[in-house]
């Protein structure tokens, strides 16, 4: 009875992914405990976030991809409408309009688009499947551009970039011509001065400071300087859990959220960093395997995009904290404190598991 129940419970759960995710979450909790000054309140709050994410993952994993395909358009439209609502009625905090107050709680619709956009695009390409023309890619670019521009306007460069990435990965896997890709890269390069002029001052500042953090050591450069000091001073083996001086003595800013990787790097050193990279690499690789084995176009495009988006999260966050990418608000997946991003991740892993465990149903159905 119990074993039957358990097997039903885990029927649509991918064990490799689950193991990796749980392990990463455990690491995350340990680091968070250290980063929050050994206070349990943040850790327990994060445990709730993780539980919610795991439940969401389980729920989504049990929904077959065909069902998910069906909600592609509504999810996308609702997401875009919510973004418009944010632009009109959103709450302003820290000079950006990102949150929408829906009475009970505040939500960040841009987060929703991280999944809604690739789902929408994967659905579009699966419908057009074998008759893809250049026009389809143009339409796909439009589908992606609408939410991205709305998010950029908030402004939330980090999320806009991640949404762009998640959508672009779908387009890329759908078979966007190499000429377009290379041409696009060339175009971006050519237009970068224009982009530069469109950026907000603080966004420009971030990029300038990345190039030379000492320009503003007590202002925006402070984050990068302190986080590189933290990581560098960790050395090969790290200072040990709870012993990072940069962390424990408050030198690291935002150390429970976007800069939590610096805490990890300081306390666990080069060895810890490499193991964490390996863990993330396994998760990404598992995602690729799921994508490669997926039976429908929708599934494989979505699985590929989710895997690559997860990779992008990891790379952008670690790159920014270790000082090779500009500071954009991207959390370290599964480790950073935060409910919304954890939920998005849970949903993403749920989608991967759903794709992996409903293959036979697709094949036979």
Partner 1 sequence: MAYSTELRNHQNEQHNFRVRLTIAALIALVTFSALGLRFYYLQVNRYDYYHTLAESNRISIVPISPNRGLILDRNGVVLAHNFFVYTLEVTPSKISNLDTTIADLGQMVEISAIDLKRFKKLKAESHSFESVPIRTHLNEIEAAKFAVNRYRFPGVELKSRLYRHYPQGELGTHAVGYISRINERDLAQLKEDNVISNYKGTDHIGKGGVEQAYERELHGTTGFQQVEINADGKAVRVLSSAAPTSGNNIVLSIDAKLQAIAEKAFGERRGSLVAIQPKTGEVLGFVSMPTFNPNLFVDGIDYDNWNLLNNSLDKPLINRALKGIYPPGSTFKPFVALAGLENGKREPPYSIQDAGYYTLPNSRHRYRDWKPSGHGTVDMRKAITISCDTFFYGLAMELGIERLTDFVRHFGFGQKTEIDIRGEVTGLLPTPEWKKRRFKQPWYMGETVIVGIGQGYTLTTPMQLAYATATLANQGTAIRPHIVNAVVNSKTHVVTPIPHTVLDKIDLKMQNLEIVKAGMVDVTLPGGTAASVGANAGYSIAAKTGTAQVIGIKQNEKYNEKSINERHRDHALFIAYAPADDPKIALAVIVENGGHGGSAAGPIARKVMDYFLLGKEPPEDAPKAELPLPTTALGEASTVVNAEEEHYD
Q: In the complex, which residues of this chain contact partner 1 (CB under 8 A)?
A: 129-130, 169, 172-173, 175, 226, 228-236, 245-246, 249-251, 265, 269-270, 273-274, 277, 280-281, 284-285, 288, 291-292, 297, 300-301, 304, 307-308, 311, 314-315, 318-319, 322-324
Q: How many whole angstroms separate alpha carbon 149 and alpha carbon 112?
A: 15
Of the two residues 48 and 277, which places its CB atom closer to partner 1 in the complex? 277
- From residue 60, alpha-carbon distances to 104, 113, 200, 240, 358 in Å are 24, 16, 38, 38, 12
- Cβ closest to partner 1, residue 234 vs residue 348: 234
In whole angstroms, the minimum distance from the beta carbon of 74 to partner 1 comes to 27
Which is closer to partner 1, CB of 54 or CB of 320? 320
**CB–CB of 350/59 below 8 Å?**
yes
Kindly state the tokens that stand for 34. 């250290």
Smallest gap, in angstroms, from Cβ of residue 194 to partner 1? 26
| Shortest spacing between CB 259 and partner 1, in angstroms | 13
User: Of 152 and 291, which CB lies nearer to partner 1 in the complex structure?
Assistant: 291
Closer to partner 1 by Cβ: residue 55 or 274:
274
For the CB of residue 258, give the shortest distance to partner 1 in the complex, in Å: 16
Q: How far is the CB of 277 from partner 1 (least distance, A)?
A: 6
H, E, C per residue of the chain: CHHHHHHHHCCCCCHHHHHHHHHHHHHHHHHHHHHCCCCHHHHHHHHHHHHHHHHHHHHHHCCCHHHHHHCHHHHHHHHHHHHHHHHHHCEEECCEEEEEECCCCEECHHHHHHHHHHHHHHHHHHHHHHHCCHHHHHHHHHHHHHHHHHHHHCCCHHHHHHHHHHHHHHHHHCCCCHHHHHHHHHHHHHHHHHHHHHCCHHHHHHHHHHHCHHHCCCCCHHHHHHHHHHHHHHCCCCCCCCCCHHHHCCCCCCCCCCCHHHHHHHHHHHHHHHHHHHHHHHHHHHHHHHHHHCCCHHHHHHHHHHHHHHHHHHHHHHHHHCCCCCCCCCCCCCCCCCHHHHHHHHHHHHHHHHHHHCHHHHHHC
Nearer to partner 1, 6 or 281 (CB): 281
Minimum gap (Å) between residue 89 Cβ and partner 1: 33
If the CB atoms of residues 58 and 124 are measured against partner 1, the closer one turns out to be 124
Q: Are 111 and 340 in contact (CB under 8 A)?
A: yes
Partners of 91 in the beta sheet?
99
CB of residue 141 to partner 1, shortest distance in Å? 18
- By beta-carbon proximity to partner 1, the closer residue of 91 and 129 is 129
Query: At closest approach, how far in Å is the CB of 280 from partner 1?
Result: 8
Cα Rg, the chain, nearest whole Å: 21
Nearer to partner 1, 107 or 216 (CB): 216
Shortest reach from residue 120's CB to partner 1, in Å: 19
Q: How far is the CB of 180 from partner 1 (least distance, A)?
A: 13
Give whichever of 90 and 326 is closer to partner 1, judged by the CB atom: 326
């Amino acid at each position: 009875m119990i074993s039957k129940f358990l097997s039903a419970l885990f029927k649509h759960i991918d064990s490799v992914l689950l193991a990796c995710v749980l392990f990463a979450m455990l690491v995350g909790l340990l680091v968070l405990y250290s980063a929050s000054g050994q206070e349990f309140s943040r850790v327990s709050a994060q445990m709730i976030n993780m539980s919610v994410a795991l439940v969401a993952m389980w729920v989504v994993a049990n929904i077959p991809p065909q069902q998910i395909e069906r909600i592609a358009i509504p999810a996308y439209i609702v997401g875009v409408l919510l973004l418009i609502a944010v632009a009109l009625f959103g709450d302003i905090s820290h000079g950006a309009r990102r949150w929408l107050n829906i009475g009970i709680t505040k939500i960040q619709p841009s987060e929703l688009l991280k999944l809604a956009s690739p789902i929408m695009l994967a659905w579009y390409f699966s419908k057009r499947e074998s008759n893809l023309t250049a026009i389809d890619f143009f339409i796909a670019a439009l589908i992606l551009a609408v939410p991205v521009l709305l998010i950029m306007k908030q402004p939330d460069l980090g999320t806009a970039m991640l949404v762009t990435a998640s959508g672009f990965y779908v387009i890329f896997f759908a078979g966007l011509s190499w000429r377009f890709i290379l041409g696009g890269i060339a175009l971006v390069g050519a237009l970068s001065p224009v982009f530069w002029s469109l950026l907000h001052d603080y966004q420009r500042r971030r990029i300038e400071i990345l190039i030379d953090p000492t320009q503003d050591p007590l202002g925006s450069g402070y984050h990068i300087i302190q986080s590189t000091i933290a990581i560098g001073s960790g050395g090969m083996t790290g200072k040990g859990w709870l012993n990072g001086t940069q962390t424990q003595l408050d030198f690291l800013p935002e150390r429970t959220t976007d800069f939590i990787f610096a805490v990890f790097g300081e306390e666990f050193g080069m060895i810890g960093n490499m193991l964490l990279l390996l863990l993330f690499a396994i998760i990404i690789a598992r995602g690729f395997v799921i994508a490669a084995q997926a039976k429908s176009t929708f599934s494989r495009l979505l699985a590929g995009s989710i895997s690559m988006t997860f990779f992008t999260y990891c790379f952008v966050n670690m790159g920014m904290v270790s000082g090779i990418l500009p500071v954009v608000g991207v959390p370290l997946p599964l480790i950073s404190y935060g409910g919304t991003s954890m939920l998005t991740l849970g949903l993403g892993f749920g989608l991967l598991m759903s794709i992996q465990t409903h293959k036979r149903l697709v094949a036979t159905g």
